[in-house]
């Protein structure tokens, strides 16, 4: 026991120390420890050590789950035995983040940068407004009209076009081959860039042609420099890597030039009218081939096809069931359509259709994939072309998808950024149509029976039977047409693995056609038809070039190999103009259908998987088989598809290691070439962004809806249980329910019975339903007492409406290259974070032995 005298001495000592340290004698241990290290500041100054210590203590209490007033024992226990909590995700929830920032905000990163740079942006904006207000406004639309007027006048001058093209070629050759000092090369780039920026503001096709011409000039100049100045390598190893890169670039140049020709002048064909006398309209057989898809996916397409506006005695719908399922047979009998199956299931979809051709007799064949739901106006829109042109063998319409593909769902870009197929169906096929090179895409098309039988039916030699069939018809002199009017819509692939499987089949089939029926080696095609078909086939050979571009920075950063026999300044002087100008030209041509830099993401995802199928098919075209694309599946839990993403992870690790090697090299062994090191590091960093985006796509988001909700705003009538009716409008629909916007909030409990009336023209249809959700003005309804008759009526009022997909392009945000670049960089950053999250989940599952949980 302590004596009173000892206690008094300790008290005096405590008061003395407290006075010296500037603390209260009754303060806690934390304050005493703080003042032993940090003395109290002079009066009037902020006590920063105390402020930081308080924040640190608060953070530690949260992390260790220690309540206020807990003793030292609790702190020690929590340090060694922390309570289990759900780990905070490194990657963002893109859907939630964009919801809070507004539907039109395309990039969270741009939002952050805009917030940080708001003062600078405000000053710059005010200065720019002050300058532009003093300058005369430029009537860009009027300039575009004048350019079109001048071009129309020049078109009437005989023999002028060949003379202009010849002079342009002579000027181009001189432009490509004239050497310039580096400083003048940069000045040339600035001058061309100014012209490109001005031309981009002028509407119309001729400014677009000017931008394409400047791109060809700068690309040709870069090509000439590459061939004459950069292929002198010091060692055989450098020559090997250098020529690999050069070969990959040659491929990109060919595809670039062919693409410019292919999309130079989209035809934008309009529907031709039909005769007034419906008795003269031809007979049409509608084929809906199916193999293993569920009936819930197939039935809407069958019922919609049966409801198309066409004389009933001239329209016959056939369900081609290659799975020979009794359930489908009963369904066909119940709804009144033909049912065809076969004993030998050879040649997959092509064999299924050819078998149906032998069993039917319609003058025309309309073909739909079993998930594509046609509108009521499909035949009236397409058939006029055949009557106007007896040599027309096929009319193709776009493939439109009312559900998101893996890129759109996993990155939440649906109806905000054009999907992967938009470029083909929005621009390329329309450009093909100008050269009479539109080809059959397997669905949403009508084919004249006689030419189809003349070429032996649907082609069976390759797994892309559709394109091969149209190639055969073009060789025989028949014409095809493309109507860029969406007249049917279907389901996109649900998973990345399914998406890749579909693209592998396309790549294999196009390589097979290129090998066995090359457009350049057989008669019957025009020069421009050969270019259009060749570009479609060469596109799928991008696997090897893309992998070369993804790996090549490591050649210098790891081993010091110079793949360009030129200094870094010269490389930038020629590479930057080529890339910038071609990027701006492509943005002008393709921006409505594909945003800048997204092609690199798509190719990075698919490159690894298309290399082997295209190579094998090119060597041995008989290898490979048709694989059916799965549709209508569910993804109950989000997960990273490790099997699919493995190649991206390895390539990502390679480029990250290359960046580390570059940092080491720039401070140690390569101090004499800092610009070269930095240039390769920027290249590797760009690859990291592309590969990070590829990994991020493999993080499959949940998909738990059996029926996808499609936006639709049309008048509707809500029928309450007491018979009272309320005028309202629809918000969205699916095959299982309807979203309604009410004029005012209503007290409707979940499960309450009610009904809704929708109209098709002058006919009203009533649908009994129950309340599925009620949130203020937004009411969700689930249909009850369902039958095929009711499903047919719903399709006629929704999917089958003639105007169902008329405004689909208006929902897309126009391309802005800088915004798109930031968007892709952000996707890459989020993809890397998703990879880290998945790795931590795997470690936690293995070590803690707990099931993985979504963040």
List, by residue number, the catalytic residues. Answer: 322, 466
d(CA 754, CA 719): 6
Cα–Cα distance measured from residue 123 to residue 127, given in angstroms and rounded to the nearest whole number:
6
DSSP-based three-state secondary structure for 30:
helix
Composition of the chain by helix, strand, coil, percent to 5:
55, 10, 35
Residues 6+ away with beta carbon under 8 Å from 315: 283, 284, 286, 306, 308, 379
Task: Measure the CA–CA gap between 140 and 203, rounded to whole angstroms.
Answer: 7
Max alpha carbon distance in the chain (Å)? 123
Residue 362 burial (CB count, 10 A) = 18
Question: Collapsing DSSP states into helix, strand and coil, what is residue 85?
Answer: coil
DSSP-based three-state secondary structure for 26? coil
Contact predicate 448/363, CB 8 Å: yes
- Dihedral of the alpha carbons of 421, 215, 430, 818, in degrees to the nearest 10: 40
Burial 668-691 (b: 16+ CB within 10 A, else e): eebeebeebbebbbebbbbbbbbb
Distance (Å, whole) CA 761 – CA 460: 43
H or E stretch including 846? Answer: helix 817-847
**Spatial CA neighbour of 611 closest among 550, 512, 566, 545:** 545
From residue 683, give the alpha-carbon distance in Å to each of 22, 511, 687, 696. Answer: 57, 30, 6, 20
The H-assigned helical ranges of 710-816 are 788-797
Q: CA-to-CA distance for 298 and 296, rounded, in angstroms?
A: 6
Q: Which of 84, 86, 91, 99 is nearest to 640 (CA)?
A: 91
* Residue at token pair 């806690």: 28
Q: What are phi and psi of 472, to 5 degrees?
A: -65, -40
Buried b (16+ CB within 10 A) or exposed e, 603-630: bbbbbbbbbebbeebeeebeebebebbb
Half-sphere exposure of 431 (CA within 13 A, CB side): 23
Start-end of H helices in 135-273: 140-155, 160-177, 182-201, 205-229, 236-262
CA distances from 363 to 286, 392, 394, 624 (A): 11, 13, 12, 34
442 vs 465: CA distance, rounded Å: 8
* Angle, helices 94-101/108-116, rounded to nearest 10 degrees: 50
- Measure Cα distances from 159 to 156, 165, 713 in Å: 9, 11, 53
SS (H, E, C) 492-503: CCCCHHHHHHHH
**Cβ-count burial of 127 within 10 angstroms (0-12 exposed, 13-18 middle, 19+ buried)?**
exposed
Taking alpha carbons only, the member of 713, 758, 708, 757 closest to residue 731 is 713
Q: Got the DSSP string for 218-242?
A: HHHHHHHHHHHHS---SSHHHHHHH
Distance CA 73, CA 155 (A): 92
């Amino acid at each position: 026991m302590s004596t009173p005298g000892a206690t008094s001495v300790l008290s005096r000592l405590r008061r003395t120390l407290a006075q010296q340290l500037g603390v209260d004698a009754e303060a806690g241990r934390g304050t005493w420890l703080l003042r032993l290290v940090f003395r109290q500041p002079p009066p009037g100054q902020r006590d920063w050590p105390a402020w930081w210590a308080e924040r640190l203590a608060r953070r530690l209490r949260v992390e260790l789950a220690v309540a206020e007033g807990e003793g030292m024992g609790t702190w020690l226990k929590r340090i060694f035995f922390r309570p289990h909590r759900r780990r905070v995700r490194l990657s963002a929830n893109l859907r939630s983040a964009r919801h809070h920032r507004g539907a039109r905000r395309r990039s969270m990163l741009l939002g952050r940068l805009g917030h940080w740079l708001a003062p600078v942006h405000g000053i710059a904006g005010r200065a720019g407004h002050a300058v532009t207000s003093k300058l005369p406004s430029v009537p860009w639309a009027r300039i575009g009209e004048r350019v079109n007027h001048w071009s129309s006048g020049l078109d009437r001058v005989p023999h002028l076009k060949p003379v202009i093209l010849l002079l342009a070629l002579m000027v181009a050759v001189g432009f490509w081959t004239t050497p310039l000092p580096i400083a003048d090369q940069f000045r040339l780039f600035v001058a061309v860039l100014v012209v490109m920026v001005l031309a981009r503001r002028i509407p119309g096709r001729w400014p677009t042609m000017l931008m394409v011409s400047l791109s060809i000039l700068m690309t040709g100049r870069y090509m000439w420099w590459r061939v004459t100045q950069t292929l002198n390598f010091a060692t055989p190893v450098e020559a090997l890597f250098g020529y690999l890169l050069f070969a990959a670039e040659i491929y990109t140049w060919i595809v670039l030039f062919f693409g410019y020709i292919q999309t130079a002048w989209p035809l934008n064909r309009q529907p031709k009218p039909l005769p007034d006398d419906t008795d003269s309209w031809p007979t049409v057989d509608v084929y809906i081939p199916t193999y293993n898809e569920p009936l819930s996916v197939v039935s809407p397409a069958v019922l919609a096809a049966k409801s198309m506006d066409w004389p009933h005695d001239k329209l016959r719908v056939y369900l081609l069931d290659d799975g020979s399922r009794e359930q489908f047979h009963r369904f066909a009998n119940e709804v009144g359509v033909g049912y065809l199956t076969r004993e030998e299931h050879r040649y997959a979809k092509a064999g299924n259709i050819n078998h149906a051709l032998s069993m039917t007799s319609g003058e025309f064949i309309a073909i739909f994939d079993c998930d594509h739901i046609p509108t009521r106006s499909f035949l009236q829109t397409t058939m006029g072309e055949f009557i106007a042109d007896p040599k027309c063998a096929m009319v193709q319409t776009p493939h439109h998808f009312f559900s998101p593909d893996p890129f759109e769902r996993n990155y939440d870009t649906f109806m905000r950024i054009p999907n992967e197929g938009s470029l083909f169906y929005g621009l390329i096929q329309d450009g093909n149509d100008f050269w009479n090179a539109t080809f059959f895409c397997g669905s949403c098309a009508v084919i004249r029976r006689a030419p189809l039988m003349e070429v032996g039916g649907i082609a069976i030699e390759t797994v892309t039977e559709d394109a091969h069939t149209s190639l055969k018809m073009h060789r025989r002199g028949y014409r095809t047409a493309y109507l860029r009017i969406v007249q049917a819509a279907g389901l996109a692939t649900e998973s990345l693995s399914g998406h890749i499987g579909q693209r592998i089949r396309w790549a294999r089939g196009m390589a097979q056609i290129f090998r066995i029926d090359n457009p350049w080696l057989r008669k019957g095609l025009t020069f421009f038809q050969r270019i259009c078909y060749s570009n479609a086939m060469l596109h799928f050979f991008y696997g090897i070039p893309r992998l070369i571009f993804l790996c090549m920075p490591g050649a210098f950063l790891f081993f010091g190999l110079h793949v360009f026999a030129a200094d870094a300044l010269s490389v930038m002087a020629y590479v930057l103009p080529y890339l910038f100008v071609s990027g701006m030209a492509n943005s002008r041509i393709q921006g409505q259908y594909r945003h800048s830099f997204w092609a690199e993401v798509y190719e990075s995802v698919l490159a690894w998987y298309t290399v082997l199928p295209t190579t094998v098919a090119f060597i041995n075209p008989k290898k490979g088989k048709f694989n059916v694309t799965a549709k209508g599946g569910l993804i109950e839990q989000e997960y990273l598809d490790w099997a699919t993403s493995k190649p991206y992870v390895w390539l990502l690790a390679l480029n990250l290691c290359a960046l580390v090697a570059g940092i080491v090299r720039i401070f140690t062994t390569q101090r004499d070439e800092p610009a070269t090191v930095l240039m390769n590091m920027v290249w590797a960093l760009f690859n990291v962004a592309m590969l990070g985006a590829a990994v991020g796509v493999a993080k499959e988001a949940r998909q738990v809806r059996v029926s996808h909700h499609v936006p639709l705003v049309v008048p509707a009538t809500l029928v309450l249980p007491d018979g009272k009716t309320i005028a309202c409008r629809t918000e969205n629909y699916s095959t299982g329910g309807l979203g309604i916007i009410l004029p005012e909030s209503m007290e409707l409990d979940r499960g309450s019975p009610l009904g809704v009336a929708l109209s098709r023209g002058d006919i009203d249809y009533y649908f009994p339903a129950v309340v599925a959700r009620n949130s203020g003005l937004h009411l969700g309804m689930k249909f009850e007492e369902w039958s095929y008759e009711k499903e047919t009526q719903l399709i006629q009022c929704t999917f089958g409406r003639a105007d169902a997909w008329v405004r689909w392009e208006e929902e897309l945000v126009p391309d802005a290259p800088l915004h798109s670049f930031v968007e892709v960089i952000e996707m890459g950053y989020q993809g890397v974070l998703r990879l880290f999250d998945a790795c931590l989940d795997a470690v936690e599952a293995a070590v803690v032995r707990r099931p993985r949980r979504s963040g």
